Amino acid sequence: MAENENPLFLKVVILIYAIVALVYGLCFLFVPDFLVNASGGEPVFHGWLRWAGGICVALGIGSLMVMRKPKNQGIFVTTIALGTLLAGLALVFAWINLEEGANVWFTAFPAILMLVIS
């Protein structure tokens, strides 16, 4: 990507990523039952969801920090792009092999969003 004085597109993508990470992270951290019920999945031990929520919140906060000054943050931006690509591909795989009783929108929406962000 060519460097320029106003990396507006990069800032917008980082902001979208930060919002998604914070929303999912805060939900997994504080109200994991809501997301499990929305997905139509089986109840699981909340510890498995809460730690992932903490990681998502940390990535969201880090993204907001990078968004203020994205120059020379190539490693973080590349890591986020790779993470969203792999998450999107994993969600597409889950979408193809959808469990019985699961809500399609709960897998399809984040799959499409992650692939677009990456």
Query: What range does the domain containing 112 cover?
Result: 8-117
Q: Is residue 111 in a domain?
A: yes
Q: Is residue 46 in a domain?
A: yes
Higher-pLDDT residue of 17, 38: 17
Q: Is residue 98 in a domain?
A: yes
What's the pLDDT score for residue 6? 65
Higher-pLDDT residue of 89, 41: 89
Report the domain count for the chain. 1
- SS3 sequence of the chain: CCCCCCCHHHHHHHHHHHHHHHHHHHHHHHCHHHHHHHHCCCCCCHHHHHHHHHHHHHHHHHHHHHHHCCCCCHHHHHHHHHHHHHHHHHHHHHHHCCCCCCCHHHHHHHHHHHHHHC
Q: Is residue 1 in a domain?
A: no
pLDDT score of 37 more than 90? no
Q: Is residue 3 in a domain?
A: no
